[in-house]
Structure 1
Amino acid sequence: MKASIGKTALAAVLALGAAGAASAGVTVNYVDSDKFADVPFAPWERKEVLDELARYFAELGKSLPAGQDLTVDVTDIDLAGREYPTSRGTRDLRVLQGGADWPIIELRYALSANGQVIRSGTAKLSDMNYLDRASRLSDNDSLRYEKRMIEEWFDKTILQKKS
Structure 2
Amino acid sequence: MKKHIGLIITTGALLLMTSTALSTAFAADSEVKWTEPEKYRDIRPGDENRKRFQERTFKELEKYFAKLAAKLPEKQTLKIEVTDVDLAGDVRFGSHRQIRIIKDIYSPRMAFSYQLLSADKTLLSSGEVNLKDLNFMHGRGIKHRHEALNYEKNMLDDWFEETFSPVVAAVK
Q: TM-score range by the shorter chain?
A: 0.7 to 0.9
Equivalence map 1:77-156=2 (5 Å): 77-85=85-93, 92-99=98-105, 101-114=106-119, 115-156=121-162
| Distance in 1 (alpha carbons) for counterparts of 2:164 and 2:61 | 17
Between 75-84 and 137-146, the greater mean CA deviation after superposition:
137-146
Structure 1 portions without partners, runs of 5+: 1-18
SS of 1:140 mapped into structure 2: coil
From 22, 29, 34, give the equivalent of 1:25: 29
Instruction: Provide the C-alpha distance between the structure 1 equivalents of 2:79 and 2:93, rounded to a whole number of angstroms.
Output: 34
Whichever of the two has the greater Rg, that structure is 2
**Aligned-pair CA distance for 1:133:** 2.1
Unmatched 5+ stretches in structure 2 = 1-22
Letter in 2 for 1:108: S
Tell me, in whole angstroms, the C-alpha distance in 1 between the residues paired with 2:94 and 2:25: 42
Deviation readout 1:13-41 (Å, 9 max, x if unpaired): xxxxxx93476200011110111100025
- Structure 2 Cα separation of the partners of residues 103 and 131 of structure 1: 10
Percent of aligned pairs with the same amino acid = 28
TM-score, normalised relative to structure 2: 0.73
Aligned length: 141
Question: CA RMSD for the aligned pairs?
Answer: 2.4
Distance 1:23-1:138 versus aligned 2 partners, 3 A rule: closer
Structure 2 residue aligned with 1:38, among 39, 42, 53? Answer: 42
